[in-house]
């Protein structure tokens, strides 16, 4: 299995809702990442987990809460989002410190209404 799987593919949520994005990989990668991508822009790094521990938080607002329950799973919990948080949320994985094998999922298209 050489894929990163993200669910759901599409999500519409209200500003008072709580929802979660999920990411799964079975490549044995021990680093997992969340990115946010706005239309026609490059992906922007949000969080990095290395060996299931949060190693980088790129000053992301607390309404985004990441969780790494085990080495194969990465979640992003969403609460009280704003319409400007609407974007494509991408998950990626790799081996920590490796230049190669950086694999992205297809993303979750999030719309906040």
Partner 1 sequence: GESVGLHLPTLSVQEGDNSIINCAYSNSASDYFIWYKQESGKGPQFIIDIRSNMDKRQGQRVTVLLNKTVKHLSLQIAATQPGDSAVYFCAEKLTGGSYIPTFGRGTSLIVHP
Using CB under 8 A as the criterion, which residues of the chain lie in contact with partner 1 when the complex forms? 4, 33, 40-45, 48, 56, 90, 92, 94, 96-100, 102-107
Nearer Cβ to partner 1, position 17 or 57?
A: 57
Specify the residue for token string 């974007």.
Answer: 87
Q: How far is the CB of 64 from partner 1 (least distance, A)?
A: 18
Q: How far is the CB of 66 from partner 1 (least distance, A)?
A: 15
Nearer Cβ to partner 1, position 78 or 90?
A: 90
Task: List the beta bridge partners of residue 8.
Answer: none
Residue 46 near residue 110 (C-beta atoms within 8 A): no
Nearer Cβ to partner 1, position 86 or 103?
A: 103
Exposure letters 27-60 (e unless 16+ CB within 10 A, then b): eebbbbbbbbbeeeeebeebbbbbebeeeeeeeb
Q: How far is the CB of 48 from partner 1 (least distance, A)?
A: 7
């Amino acid at each position: 299995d050489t894929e990163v799987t993200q669910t759901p593919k599409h999500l519409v949520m209200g500003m008072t809702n709580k929802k979660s994005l999920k990411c799964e990989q079975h490549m044995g990668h021990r680093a997992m990442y969340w990115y946010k991508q706005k239309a026609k822009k490059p992906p922007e790094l949000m969080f990095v987990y290395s060996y299931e521990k949060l190693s980088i938080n790129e000053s992301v607002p607390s309404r985004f809460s990441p969780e790494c329950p085990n080495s194969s799973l990465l979640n992003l919990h969403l609460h009280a989002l704003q319409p400007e948080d609407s974007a494509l949320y991408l998950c990626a994985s790799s081996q920590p410190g490796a230049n190669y094998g950086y694999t992205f999922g297809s993303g979750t298209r999030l719309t906040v209404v």
